Structure 1
């Protein structure tokens, strides 16, 4: 048996007679005995396990009572605070969303008394709680704005941003179509990081990602507010899409060039009259079955 194992068993009082004799033959034996004798003075007092266990358990029970006394009210207060914070966060960050369906229009009053008229199949989003410091709306579709004077007012679309301070203007943002018309005041249109200023009668039109020059606008409000859609040299496909939105129908073109430019208008009050308005100028015929319409070249 090696030296280290003998010493370890000796310290644990686990030596037999033969092993004890082997330990005594070690040259370090006398030093080990002296060391053991000196360490006796540092032994801990006698420890009664059962008595100390009772003492510890008693302390834990007392601690639990004291802890329970203040923890329960604290937890109730914490829960209330958590609920209040959640409600505050929810009510201050939630947006108001206004939508219109096919063949539907609506008018909304914003928190500052500004008015928005929303055309068919459009979406307007804004936040009431942050409105005082941030007059901003998101628009998908078409809307006419009468903005109350005050801080800057932003209309954000996926194509560009319109900024005003108190004016009347119309914004139309559809697939491959973005148009802003100023009717009163001054409007700034930001597109591709460049701002264009519009005065009353000025228009800004992006069609298929191209800037299109337009004539001066003479009317005081957009025609759709009076249940009529007007077009000046606009691709026929844009006319058809607007017709479908206003009457909630599906139109199929047969032998018709959808990129052909169209100038004219159609009413929103009568689908029969409207169909004649968009077919006669191009010498087209039409047939209707429920909500499906087919337009053909004569």
Structure 2
């Protein structure tokens, strides 16, 4: 049964036990039930509907000109109710969203005092109105989380879900790249119906759909918080992509294999030093035209 059919049967109070459980799993469940609760406050007092109808019809019949006015007034009242309900539903389901552009980082405090450090070209979204009942954020890009202790805290990405109670961890979700590093506490990562538990120093790393085993992380925070990007045996294309995000440039490769592995780092503070860091180890040269950088073999 699709989502629309479930909602319609719920409105008709015609869900069986199995369908009710499916309805509760809908991401709109809380918003729909909250709207239903508030709509009940608009219930009109009980009255004799037959008697009222006769009075209205009698009035319209005795004065035909009132018929148009009555219909117009009724339509206006209905429009007001529709607008009120629409505004309520919109404001209670609207997400708060943060976006960073190239070379930009942003610190975000969540309603429970949890802190998120958002890396360049990333997006974070969450719903304030539902926060007390569901601590959940959606991430595209990369972010470091310091989660306040409390109920379960979920980070949803296109590749997987990270669940914690109170801890510190980094999530990086880019094209064909998904990595979670635990720095404090315990992290549960759900990826394609499988769940991995991470302790401090543990990593979960997927590249091009393949799971890789990595060494223990010995840093207390990710390097990008100190304006530095570090790589260990990663394809050169990942280095180039991160360089473009941190320095807001476009890089063109000429006769360079972007699948070759690279180990090293570059700074976010000085583009000239950063360029030398990613070219000298591979014996490459570079030239710049405006914000376009071309890398070549020596």
TM-score range, shorter chain: 0.7 to 0.9
1:231 aligns with 2:246: no
* Aligned mates of 2:292, 2:81 — CA distance in 1: 57
* Cα deviation digits, residues 70-129 of structure 1 (max 9, x gap): 777765554433222111101011111111111111111111111111111111111111
Q: CA deviation at 1:278?
A: 0.6
Name the structure 2 match of 1:193: 193
Name the structure 2 match of 1:219: 219
Q: CA deviation at 1:254?
A: 1.6
Q: CA deviation at 1:69?
A: 8.9
Name the structure 2 match of 1:155: 155
* Aligned mates of 2:87, 2:194 — CA distance in 1: 40
Q: 1:59 to 1:293 in 2, by over 3 A?
A: closer
* Aligned mates of 1:73, 1:60 — CA distance in 2: 13
Structure 1: 5+ residue stretches without partners: 1-57
Name the structure 1 match of 2:173: 173
RMSD (Å) for aligned C-alpha atoms: 2.0
* Aligned mates of 1:171, 1:59 — CA distance in 2: 68
Name the structure 2 match of 1:182: 182
* Aligned mates of 2:85, 2:130 — CA distance in 1: 17
**Which stretch of structure 1 is more off in the superposition, 74-83 or 192-201?**
74-83
* Aligned mates of 1:283, 1:295 — CA distance in 2: 10
* Cα deviation digits, residues 183-238 of structure 1 (max 9, x gap): 11100011110000000110110011111111100111111011000111111110
Q: TM-score, normalised by structure 1?
A: 0.76
Structure number with larger C-alpha Rg: 1
Structure 2: 5+ residue stretches without partners: 1-57
| Structural mapping, 1:19-58, within 5 Å | none
The count of corresponding residues between Structure 1 and Structure 2 is 241
Q: TM-score, normalised by structure 2?
A: 0.76
* Cα deviation digits, residues 48-77 of structure 1 (max 9, x gap): xxxxxxxxxx98642547878977776555
| Structural mapping, 1:64-143, within 5 Å | 64=64, 77-143=77-143
Q: Secondary structure, in 3 states, of the residue corresponding to 1:90?
A: helix
Name the structure 2 match of 1:146: 146
